Amino acid sequence: MGVISPKFFMKAKKSLGQNFLIDKNVISKIVTEVSACNDDLIVEIGPGRGALTKELKKYNSNILCYELDRDLKNILQALEDDKTKIVWQDFLKSNIKDDIKDIKYNKLYIVGNLPYYITTPIIEHIMDSNINFEKLVIMVQKEVADRFLASPHTKEYGYITVVLNYYFDVSRVINVSKYAFNPVPKVESTVLRLIPKKDKINLDFNKFKDFLKKCFSQKRKTLKNNLKGYDWSKIKTILDKYNMSENVRAEEISGEILIEIFKHSL
């Protein structure tokens, strides 16, 4: 395995989830997955010591990075030039639309290897920012990837599965061993590609998320129990259409049918 020498990885900050990628094969897979052109824009979240940034620069695209840790300035500023800029800010507090408004670009790609405790907030922040982009390539904890990719009737299937699969086509790029990082984390990882769906069913996304939160609020309870306050007769019409029992639980219902139930329950 080609690795970057660990001597570059002093003083990683646990509080910022700093596990730096050192496996050149994994870095290369992620960069190949982004696959941008020189008139495109890549937003990188959490560049760290620039393991991905250095390779992404080969595309000669515009690159905008968000990094929270100013102690990395010496390393990252060396990568800055006409087309590569670092924003020293918490990505979760960023206004992406505003930050990219003066950059001329054709397609937008987003890539990140971030602390796993903010995986879902990061994806939600990107969805809430209302920007058009081609693809999000993101490293996540393997268990979280399994939840994003889960099918009904499995214990991994839940609220986040349905929300993400409404918005994106989600697929696995590669599983990544914990030894691809320095320091070595406790968990295994997966790189995912999330491609925004072009033909999303038109609905009020915030209301849909509230509805799903209720559907999955108590996983062992039936949908009927979790959806008190909704017009059950309307919901039952959809369940009947798919020959589903009144005692069905949300974890047994596909995202497509949950969307249909949501639309009829309004």
Residues that bind ligand SAM in the complex, under the rule CB under 6 A = 16-21, 45-49, 51-52, 66-69, 90-92, 113-115, 118
Contact 55, 27 (CB under 8 A): yes
Q: Beta strands of 11-61 (E only): which ranges?
A: 20-21, 41-45
Min CB(18)–ligand SAM separation in Å? 5
Min CB(183)–ligand SAM separation in Å? 10
Residue 103 CB neighbours (<10 A):
14
Write the DSSP string, 125-181. Answer: HHHHTT---SEEEEEEEHHHHHHHT--TTSTT-SHHHHHHHHHEEEEEEEEE-GGGE
Only one residue has tokens 């007769």, namely 233
User: Does residue 183 have a cis bond before it (omega within 30 degrees)?
Assistant: yes
Is the sign of the CA dihedral 141, 41, 182, 25 positive or negative? positive
C-beta of 165 vs 189, nearer to ligand SAM: 189
Distance CA 181, CA 18 (A): 9
Min CB(131)–ligand SAM separation in Å? 17
C-beta of 194 vs 212, nearer to ligand SAM: 194
C-beta of 17 vs 259, nearer to ligand SAM: 17
Min CB(248)–ligand SAM separation in Å? 39
Distance CA 102, CA 121 (A): 26
C-beta of 7 vs 228, nearer to ligand SAM: 7
Min CB(63)–ligand SAM separation in Å? 12
Q: Beta strands of the chain (E only): which ranges?
A: 20-21, 41-45, 62-67, 84-88, 108-113, 135-141, 168-176, 181-182, 189-196
Beta bridge partners of 86: 65
Min CB(51)–ligand SAM separation in Å? 4
Beta bridge partners of 194: 136, 170
Min CB(48)–ligand SAM separation in Å? 2
C-beta of 96 vs 235, nearer to ligand SAM: 96
C-beta of 66 vs 148, nearer to ligand SAM: 66
C-beta of 47 vs 173, nearer to ligand SAM: 47
